[in-house]
Amino acid sequence: MRTLTLILLSLFALQTISPGQEAGKPRGEKKVVIQLYDDGTWQYADTTSRAEKPVPVKGLEIPKTKPDDQVISHTAYSLLFNDQHKQARWIAYELTKEETEKSVERTDKFKPDPDVKNGTATDRDYEGSGYDRGHLAPAADMGWSPASMAESFYYSNMSPQVPAFNRGIWKKLEELVRNWAGDYEAIYVVTGPVLNPGLNTIGPDKVSVPDYFYKVILDSREQGYNGIGFILPNSGSSLPLQSFAVTIDSVEKFTGIDFYPALPDKQEKQIEKTLCIDCWNWKYTRSVNQNDAREKTGDRASAPVLSPFGRFSPLQRGDVRRTEGYILSTNYVSSVSQ
């Protein structure tokens, strides 16, 4: 017997294992979703993660804004710029299957965004800093027109990223999301840095260096909408991307941003509180060495990751199939013969 104590970002749906049944080899696909509460009580939850067939909503990707917010719209994406941190608080865009078909080559022509009144970062801010000019909306998502590609290199679309992060796990997530657009016809993406007071800065314009980045995705399928969020530390990682997956509600609480407010309230609430790992195609992440990323506990290994909330693992292979809710503390007992 082995006991794993984890701090979890989610409510677990665990497959039941009967006495004598080999771990990692469940009988069928019996799944249970349990909602846990701070007072220690629990109840079985509604297992419906999808709402009714989606109705097209104009500007669905745009987060909730305040009356004095100046949202800037470019050819392919919109953004809300933060003058204090000299970067966007969020970048939002719809990505369709057709737009993933690249027709324009990457330009690498970084330049200030002419639509930001008080100015963006410049080349000087990044020179010699040791940080990459990390795209928020990736250039590879913008290769469907010359204008969208050129605007993807605006400094309003950049944030200081550790090279191992920008060229590693962040790039893998960008590729995964792009493939989802091809799988699900269209997705609505909001992404950005987590901007807090007291961050380190670089360059003469004092561009903040975020400790974390986020990405939330809403897909539109025939059966309905489905949503997922990610929070990643600004550092290299060999962990599987599923280890960083959280509910959209969790990203909202961590960033203070209200995502997808154009959805009907009931539909938005259901989508944003639910994380369904199995509802997404993860085949593009197989290049990650999961043996290195997981603790050696056999088929039911854990994949803890340092998150802003503590150490957690939303994916216990062979056990977890579904997560709902927000931050909880619980014990997970793994029956693994040693």
Catalytic positions, please?
135
Of 96, 277, 274, which Cα lies nearest the Cα of 187?
Answer: 96
Token pair of 72 as six digits? 């800037």
Q: Give the DSSP letter of residue 64.
A: P
Distances (CA, A) of 335 to 16, 86, 190, 300: 11, 50, 39, 9
Distances (CA, A) of 221 to 4, 200, 317: 37, 41, 26
Distances (CA, A) of 210 to 74, 131, 186: 24, 11, 29
Q: Pairing between strand 11-14 and 2-8?
A: unpaired
Helix H or strand E segment including 224: strand 224-233
- 110 burial (CB, 10 Å; 0-12 / 13-18 / 19+) is middle
Ramachandran sector of residue 198 (left: φ over 0; alpha: ψ -120 to 50; beta: rest): left
Q: Pairing between strand 224-233 and 245-246?
A: antiparallel
Rounded to an integer, what distance in angstroms lies between the CA atom of residue 237 and that of residue 57?
36
- The CA angle 238-203-119, to the nearest 5 degrees, is 105
Rounded to an integer, what distance in angstroms lies between the CA atom of residue 14 and that of residue 34?
8
Rounded to an integer, what distance in angstroms lies between the CA atom of residue 23 and that of residue 64?
45
Of 215, 170, 217, 227, which Cα lies nearest the Cα of 191?
Answer: 215
